[in-house]
Amino acid sequence: MVKKIILGILVAAFVIMQFWRIDKTNPPVVESKTLFTVAQPPEGVQTILKTACFDCHSNETIYPWYADLAPVSWWIKGHIDHGRSELNFSEWADYSEEAKIKKMKKSHRLVRNNVMPMNYYVMVHNDAILLPGEKKRLLDWFETQVPDGMMDE
């Protein structure tokens, strides 16, 4: 009897949570401000960035079906908001030159150390797993965006 009551409460709580929906509207993309327009990475690098980075680090997030289920949706939205606040490839032109260099160096370090893309993200987005050649290509490109001698600072 107690188990049925607890299960009923849990089911009711889950149903009630669904009434608090996240806003999945992406901010507008101004093409002249994007990393692709400003820094013009090679097409292969663009493909890697779109596949492995853009869901959290651009205004072009593609929300998965499970982003409609609270409380998972809240968790996903929090990660996207945080990712955009740290680095947003859709607003690249808005960063100062110093900030761009810092963001490239940090991106290089996080990819090199297998911190990005995050493990939980690649678990459900297999296409975001960076193969060794893709990782090298991305790291090499990040290095081209940092003035000589500044990568190790």
CA-CA-CA-CA torsion sign (46, 119, 125, 70):
negative
Percent of the chain predicted with pLDDT > 70: 99
State pLDDT tens for residues 93-106. 999 999 999 999 99
Contacts with 115 (C-beta within 8 Å, 6 or more apart), sequence order: 109
pLDDT higher than threshold 80 for residue 33: yes
Percent of the chain predicted with pLDDT > 90: 72
What is the spatial distance between Cα 30 and Cα 55, in angstroms, rounded to a whole number?
Answer: 17
Tokens of 74: 């809240």
Largest CA distance in the chain: 70
Tokens of 11: 């089911």
CB 59 within 8 Å of CB 33: no
Confidence (pTM): 0.87
CA-CA-CA-CA torsion sign (76, 77, 82, 86):
positive
State pLDDT tens for residues 110-146. 999 999 999 989 988 999 999 999 999 999 999 999 9
State pLDDT tens for residues 36-83. 999 999 999 999 999 999 999 999 999 999 989 899 899 999 999 999
